[in-house]
Structure 1
Amino acid sequence: MGLASPASMYHQMRVRGLQRPATISVIFGAVLAFVYVLLQSSAPWNLTSSHTRLGKEYKIPVRQIEGLADAIADMWRPLALDIHADNFTAWLWGDRGTPYVMPAKAKRHWTAPLGKDVLILDVDTRPLEQMRSKGRVQSDFRALFEDDQLTPRFAGMLNHYIYARIHGYDYKFIHASELADRHQTWVKVPAIKEALLKYKFVVFADADALFNQPDVPLEWMLNYWNVHPKTLVAMAEDPNSPTNQDPKGWVLWNTGFIVAQQGERTQELFRQWDDCPSGRQFPDCRRWAHDWAHEQAAFGHHLRYAWNKTDDLRAIACMDANGAHHCGDRKCLGVFVSHHWGKKDEPIQDLWRLVTRAVTRYASQGRPDLIFKAFINPIRPPPNWAFYDEMLRFDEA
C-alpha cells in the first residue's frame, strides 16, 4: 500500500468532518513534520566524524535523527527565555508552575548569547550498538524509537543535542576508547580538559542528566548561579545525607553535570584531577581509580579542597541541578537539570514530554497557528530535489 500524499490526507480529513481550523492545523502540521523526517532519514548525509586523542568524535548522537531533533528544537526555539529576563515559571512534574526570580543583587556577567562558544558534551566508552539500541542497529532510524529498542542512554543524549540546537550551542559526542587503569567514568575528565582548548564553556552531562527547562538558556542559568568570568568549574551538590558527605561532613558534588570555563587555571585543575589516581599529588587518591564514586569522589575528597582557597569553584544547589521528582528528597528536584540516578528509564519519558510540553504551551496561549508554524519551520529543501518532488507529488485522483 503506497504512502498517501499530504494533499490527499488533507482532503480525507475534510470529508470526515475535521473542519475546525485548529484541529486541521495541528494534524496537517504533524503530517508534514512526518514527511520531513522521512525525507531527512532517506536523504544523503554530509555529517562527518573525526578522531581525537580520546576516540571518535560525532556532531550528533545518531546521524539519522537530525530531522526529528531539528523539528523538536524548532518547536521550542520561539519559546526560549530571554537572557535578560528577571523571572520565569519553571515546569515541574505535576506542578502548575514554580516562579524563579533572578536575585535583585545578581551581577549578570553573561548578557549576550554565547552561541558556539558553548559545547554540550557527551562522552562514553560503551559499544555504540549497546548505547543506541537494545537490539541490532537498524537501517531504518525509526526502529530506534520502538518500545523494545529505545534506550534511556540514547534518549538522554538526544535531550542534550536538542537543547544545544534550541540555543545555538555546539554539540559533540565522543565515543572514547576504554581506560585501562581506572573506571570508565573517569573518561569525562580528560574529555572536558581537551574540549576547553576550543570552547569558552564546556557543559558535560551524564546520559541520565537532562535539561529539564529546554527554554532556559545556559546564559540565564550562569547568571542565576553567579558563575562569573573567574569561575573555573560549577557542579551540583548531592542530596545532603551522611552517605553523600566526605569525612569532614562536606556534602559531595555530583559530576553528572559539570560546567567548566576555559582558562589556564582550569586546565591545571583538570590536569591534577586526571592525575589524581596516580597518587603523586594526593596519595590517598589511588583508591578512587576503581572505588565508587571514582572521579566524583576524587574531586570531592581532594581537588575541591586544593582549589577552594578563592572563588574558583561554584556549588549549584541540589534543587537546581540534581535529583528529580521521583528521588524522594524534596530539596533535590532538578529544576533546571534533572539527574535520574534513581530511575534510569526516565529519559525516555522525558523525550516524549519534550513534544507534548511545547504543544501544550502553544495551546495554552490560544495560538494553534504557532503549533502549525513550529511543524512547518523545519521543512527545508533536501539536497535531492528529484526525491523531494516525487515524495510531495499531489494526487490528482
Structure 2
Amino acid sequence: MSRTVTLALVDADGVPLGSLPPYDVPEPWWQEVASVVTEARRRHHLDVAVLRLLAADRPEPPGGHLTYLAQVAERPAVPLSPPTFDLSEEPLRAAWARPGGPARSLAWAAGELRRIGRPVTGVAQQRTWNLSAIWRLDGEWGSAWLKQVPLFFRHEAAVLRRLAASGVTPTLLAADDSGRMLLDHVPGEDRYAADVDERAAITADHHVLQVRAAADVAGLVADGVPDRRGPALAGWIRTMLAPHDVSAVAGLLADLDDRLDQVRRCGLPDTLVHGDLHPGNVRGDGRRRVVIDWGDAFVGHPAFDLLRLTETLDPAAAGRLAAEWAARWRADVPGCDPERAVALLRPVAPLRMAAVYAMFLAGIEPSEHPFHVHDVPACLDAAVATLVSID
C-alpha cells in the first residue's frame, strides 16, 4: 500500500500559491513525510516543509489520496493549479503546522546544538501530525533529533530529565516550555517485531525503572507529569469521555471508583507509567535498549504498561510475561497481589486508552481528526470485550 499526495503550497507569510500535481510515495502512514519531501525535491527541484494534513479521501489511515499544506521559500517554476484550499485560522493548530513554525523550531534547535559544539550542516523532515513534528539534524559529529509536541505532551521533557541516569531513555540535549525537545541519536531500530523473549527482557528492565520511580512520584507530579492515581484516573476518564457515546461501558464507568479502590488494596505502589509501552516504542541495537516516546507518561499503576506490552501476544505468552512480572513485584513488595491487580485493570486499560484518544480529539484541529476519530469507539469495544466483573 502507498499514498498519493497533493501538496498545497504557501509562502513564508502564509499566502496561498497553488497546488503541485499529485504524486505517489511508498509509505502509507499519513504522518510520515520524509518521502513526501524527497519526492518534491526529485520531481520539482523544490524544497518544502510539510505543515499539516488538509484533507484525505478516506476516513482513517493508512493509504489513500492526501492533501498536505507545505511551505516553500519562493514560488516554484512548476505550473500550479489554482489555490482552492481552506486556510482559515484554527485556535487548536500546532505551532509547527503554521507557516514559519518549522523554521523557528529548527533555528532554536540549531542554536542549542551550536551552543554545545555541534554545528548543523543539514536537516531533514521526518514526520508531522497532530502529536509531533520530528526533524533530523546532521553534522560532522553525527545526528540529533528535534521533536516538538503539543502542550498535552509537554511533560515528556520532564520525564526524560528525571530518568537521565537510568540509561534506558534518549539523552535530552535541550528543551523549552513550548514542547520542543532536542534528543541525541539512539542507534538501532524500533523493535516492532520483538518476540516474547525480547518483550520479557523489556518487562524486566522496565520493572527496575518503575521500582526506582515509585519513590519519586511526588517529584514527577510536581514536574507536571499527569496524576492518574485512583480517583484522579476515574475522574479524568469520565471527563474525557463525556462528549462520546459511552453507553456500552456505562456499567464499567459506574463501578470504576470501586474497581480502582480494589486495585489499590492489592498493594502495588503507584509509579511512573510509560502509557504506551508497545515494542515499537523500544529502540535497540543488540547492546542497549532505549524506551522512547514518553509523551503518554503518567503517575499511576504499573500494570498498565504490562497490559500494553502483552496485548498482542497469544494468551500463553502473555501469561508467561504476566507471571514473571507478578513474581518481581511480589519479591519487592511482600504481601501484594499483582495477579488480582492485573485482572481488575484489564478492562480499565482500553477504557483509559479511549480517554487518551478523546483527549487528542479535544486538543487538535478538526482536519486532523481522521487520525484518531475511530480509536475511541474501538477502545470502548475492547473494554467491553475484556470486562471482568469485580469479585
Which structure shows the bigger proportion of residues in strand conformation?
A: 2
Same fold (TM over 0.5): no
Q: Structure with the greater relative contact order (CA < 8 A, sep ≥ 6): 1 or 2?
A: 1
TM-score, normalization by structure 2: 0.25
